[in-house]
Structure 1
Amino acid sequence: MTYDLAVVGAGIVGLAHALAAAKRGLSVVVIDRDAQANGASIRNFGLVVVAAEEPGRQRKLAERSREVWLEIAGPAGIQILHQGLLAVAQRPEALTLLEAFAAMDSSAGCTLLSPGELGRRQPGLNLENLRGGLLSPAEIRVESREAIPRIASYLEAELKVDFRFATTVNGVCPPVVDTSGGPVRAAKTVVCPGDDLTGLFPGFIARHDVQRCKLQMLRLAANGLRLGSAVVSDLSLIRYPGYASLPEASSLRARLEGDSAEALRNGVHMIAVQSADGSLVVGDSHHYGQTPDPFGSEAVDALILQEFGAVFATAPTVAARWTGTYASAPERAHFLERPGDDIRLVMITSGTGASTAFAIGEETITELFN
């Protein structure tokens, strides 16, 4: 059999391309070296960020990807665990930044909240330490470690996509994909390598100065706290481009460099989301290199938990810890390369796979098969 499309990589980016192609009625095979999803796509918050993305193209990609998540969630058996993003301000500079963001046209639907309104919206916050906040209704949260396998199952059962797991791709030369399980024939191929920088087409990847970003994350045991939305803090505001690109972000960064220098050095910011069992997924940190070490740091975890304690009034109990890596490139959220007429290489280099992959997949398939 010769497929219309072979997709190399079964993370969220690969699945997004397979979905876009299968919805067009194309025959698709997905090939992945692991036996099941195991990389960055299942080690994250499962948070589809919209309002905090950079206005313009990146924001539009996030808006479309959110639409696709909502379209497939029911058929694929994926639960939307909560909606919205609550950015809380600990420092006056953070509140000034949120006020500036709220005044922008791109913040439509977002609501500024006083400390009292914060408490009514989200019980359990450390209100003595908070000056206000901003609620965006657009974000959604899924459980990544469950959602990714369910998307694959949905593609296989309902859209007749073939999967070949535990299979290494050695080379791509359409119409043949050379794999450890023998040749696979496909008219066109999309390579979605995650953070594999030296496997397929390393020269094209090297053009973008890609390295790996290592992160640390925690799961906190359920303790009665119920989140109505994802919650982020001051440190997050200088990382998310939607906020960080505003002039007011410079004052917040200067303040953080004075009183949170160690957190900044370790790329720490606080995101908290909730799972169906009441536990919280909290993180994260950012360390960069071609091959970051696989070891978690207790000191870095302590910085994350310190920030959690500044935002929430409850004492956390750590139930699990893990690290992950994703591809990262300076000043580039993602890129597409054309190693051949019938080959596309797609890499998201900003940690925004859950937020933008579905829209990127649609664009790639439209261009490749147009």
Structure 2
Amino acid sequence: MDGYDLAVVGSGIVGLAHALAAVRRGLRVVVVDRDQKANGASIRNFGLVVVTGQDSGLSRRRAERSRQVWLDLAGEAGLEILQRGKLVAAQRPEALALLEAFRSGQDGQDCKLLTAREAAAHLDGLDEKALVGGLYSPFELRVESREVLPRLTSFLAEMHGVEFRNGISVTSIAAPVVETSSGRLYAEKIVVCPGDDFASLYPERMGQYGIRRCKLQMLRLADPGHRFRSALTSDLSLLRYGGFSCLPEAGALRKRLTEQCGAALENGVHLIVVQSADGSLVIGDSHHYGMTLDPFGSDAVDHLILDEFKTLFGGKAPEVVARWTGTYASAGPAMIRDAPHDDVRLVIVTSGTGASTGFAIGEETIAELFG
């Protein structure tokens, strides 16, 4: 009979965060996943740990704590931090007014307002004529998700003895029993991190939260020939982050963007740009919602993303070398932690912020389960 202190179902970033929090308490952990390797939202993203712009309060504190864990892991596990900081490039006076309001609040105190010239000088290639100013945040970290997840998995297995059972489905849970397609496991506590799988385990628990899927589109562009000092976002992004969009000044920006960028807003487009070690750029993304979404990318949506990029870079964009779609769970609250049983937790990040807040959420869950 196999016995563990903790069984984690799901080996995406949220599942790994729970495993990490548990082994740091000296617990024996097994992670079970139906896929042979991480293949979902945890690797189909920007790898951007966002602090500035998170909802003020709990989400912000979770992001700050998770950022620190990422920095710790950079040293412990050799995870590479490719970029630090984030430039919000303001294209409209309404966006700059919103950034000024944010900067004057508690969460903006460590950020720096920039003139158009300063913002353009911060990132090579930005067109100063397209800008009215900007905001620089020193907090963001950027990792290459498709490389970091396997490295973190190896670190947990090799350095902390976490047992990974991949290619195995969990069919039912009756704590302390975990029934799988490869036999029965026993664990004192169980954490289920299903991502956007709403059918396999506890569908009735998930249903009460109104969870649905969000589909996104992203692109990789060829190396532009220069290096980005930080991540980049634009006016459209300000409406996607509660730390900005909750401010009164966001209303005027929303009105202006509705007039000028209606198609982009309808498709949930905003712009994030990050750079990989090989110089290529990852850009995106879009947001479409539903329970069952088609797997196909839209060329029209890709062009909306590229148009926003070109607006900031003098009408130019490097060649598109890859395109992909991804899905993640979406709901009103930023995350869900449900207790189907005293010894079981169902944990879902429902805001697309797993990389930004997951490590803190994992620590909270393990503290709740083990005291």
- Determine if the TM-score, normalized by the shorter chain, exceeds 0.5: yes
| Residue 185 of structure 1, CA deviation | 1.2
How high is the sequence identity, in percent, across the aligned residues?
60
Amino acid at match of 1:10: S
Cα distance in 1, alignment partners of residues 258 and 7 from structure 2: 47
Instruction: Look up the equivalent residue of 1:316 and give its one-letter code.
Output: P
Measure how far apart 1:225 and its partner are: 2.9
What secondary structure is seen at the aligned counterpart in 1 of 2:6? strand
2:322 matched to which residue of 1? 320
Distance in structure 2 (CA, Å) of the matches to 1:116 and 1:338: 52
CA distance in 1, matches of 2:105, 2:326: 34
SS at match of 2:274: strand
Cα-to-partner distance string for 1:233-288 (whole Å, 9 max, x where unaligned): 00000111111110000100000110100000000000000000000000000000
Deviates more, 1:106-115 or 1:294-303: 106-115
Q: Deviations over 1:163-202 (max 9, x none)?
A: 0000000011122100001101111100000001111001
SS state at 1:62 partner: helix
Q: CA deviation at 1:119?
A: 2.4
Q: How far apart, CA to CA, are the structure 2 residues paired with 1:357 and 1:215? A: 20
Determine the C-alpha separation between the residues in 2 that align with 1:147 and 1:198: 28
Q: How does 1:82-97 map to 2 (within 5 A)?
A: 82-97=83-98
Letter in 2 for 1:329: A
SS, match of residue 14 in structure 1: helix
* C-alpha distance in structure 1 between counterparts of 2:69 and 2:286, whole Å: 29
CA distance in 1: counterparts of 2:190 and 2:307, whole angstroms:
46
Q: Is structure 2 residue 344 aligned with structure 1 residue 329?
A: no
Q: Does 1:79 align with 2:84?
A: no
Rounded to whole Å, the distance in 1 between the matches of 2:212 and 2:350 is: 9
Give unpaired runs (5+ residues) of structure 2: none
How many Å separate the matches in 1 of 2:267 and 2:115?
Answer: 30
Code of the residue aligned with 1:182 in structure 2: it is G
Take 1:294 and 1:121, find their aligned partners in 2: how far apart are those partners?
Answer: 37
- For structure 1, the residue ranges without an aligned partner over 5 or more in a row are none
Structure 1 residues 65-90: Cα deviation after superposition (integer angstroms, max 9, x where no partner): 00000101222221100100100111
Q: Which residue of 2 aligns with 1:300?
A: 301
Q: Secondary structure at the match of 2:42?
A: helix
Deviations 1:95-138 (A, max 9, x none): 11111111112112100000111122222101111100000000
Q: Distance in 2 between matches of 1:150 and 1:254?
A: 44
Q: 2 CA distance for matches of 1:327 and 1:59?
A: 20
For 1:1-370, what aligned pairs fall within 5 Å after superposition?
Answer: 1-313=2-314, 314-330=316-332, 332-370=333-371
When normalised by structure 1's length, the TM-score is 0.99
SS of the equivalent of 1:40 reads coil
CA distance in 2, matches of 1:225, 1:133: 20
Find the aligned partners of 2:317 and 2:35 in 1 and give their Cα distance: 37
Letter in 2 for 1:360: I
Task: Give the letter for the 2:211 counterpart.
Answer: V
Q: For residues 311-332 of structure 1, give each alpha carbon's deviation from its aligned partner in whole angstroms, at most 9, with x where no partner exists.
A: 12342210000000000002x1
Cα distance in 1 for partners of 2:313, 2:17 equals: 35
Q: Given the two structures, how large is their TM-score scaled by the length of structure 2?
A: 0.98
Which residue identity does 1:327 align to in structure 2?
A
* Structure 2 Cα separation of the partners of residues 321 and 211 of structure 1: 23
CA distance in 1, matches of 2:72, 2:173: 32
Matches of 2:282 and 2:126 in 1, distance apart?
16
CA separation in 2, counterparts of 1:119 and 1:195?
Answer: 39
Alpha carbons 2:306, 2:317 under 8 Å: kept: no
* Divergent runs of 4+, >4 A: none
**Secondary structure, in 3 states, of the residue corresponding to 1:41?**
coil
Q: Which amino acid aligns with 1:253?
A: R
